[in-house]
Amino acid sequence: MSRPPASSAGVSRRMSRLARRDTRPELQIRSALHRRGLRFRLQEPIGFDRRRRIDIVFPREKVAIFVDGCFWHSCPEHATYPVANAEFWTEKLARNVARDEDTNVRLSEEGWEVIRVWEHEDPDTAAERIEQAVRGRRSGR
């Protein structure tokens, strides 16, 4: 399905800001992880669906991090739905949520630990959570 034209400058700005990679929250989390001495890979395609990517990957420990935008992934605190083209957006965002859940389940079935971080979360708190998961895996938990 093609994207309808954004109906206002505000929506348009939000789309372009949130659709891109290397978003500010993601960069902050990556910096926080580096400060903790962690090394990782970025934007790895997922084996079962190469169109999906893991934002931050710890391949050896099999920990997969997704940094989810509040708009695109319908964060419970900040989810908003554009008024124009409401039906399109409701369906599209619902599909995103369903795909996220499917990704979580399938990665877990393959032995991955999946961590989802909202873009509104404090980067250091998120990095702490991620570090614990990675170190836990290393110690063979």
Interface with Zn ion (CB under 5 A)? 70, 75, 77-78, 118, 120
Nearer to Zn ion, 77 or 87 (CB): 77
DSSP helix/strand/coil, 87: helix
Tokens at 19, concatenated: 């659709």
Q: Considering the complex, what minimum distance in angstroms separates the CB of residue 73 from Zn ion?
A: 9
Identify which of residues 32 and 117 has a Cβ nearer to Zn ion in the complex.
117
**CB neighbour list of residue 138: distance below 8 Å, 6 or more residues apart:** 61
Tokens 């795909």 map to which residue?
99
The least CB distance from residue 134 to Zn ion, in Å, is 24
C-beta of 78 vs 138, nearer to Zn ion? 78
Give me the least distance between CB of 61 and Zn ion, in Å please.
27
Task: Check if the beta carbon of residue 53 is closer than 8 Å to that of residue 46.
Answer: yes
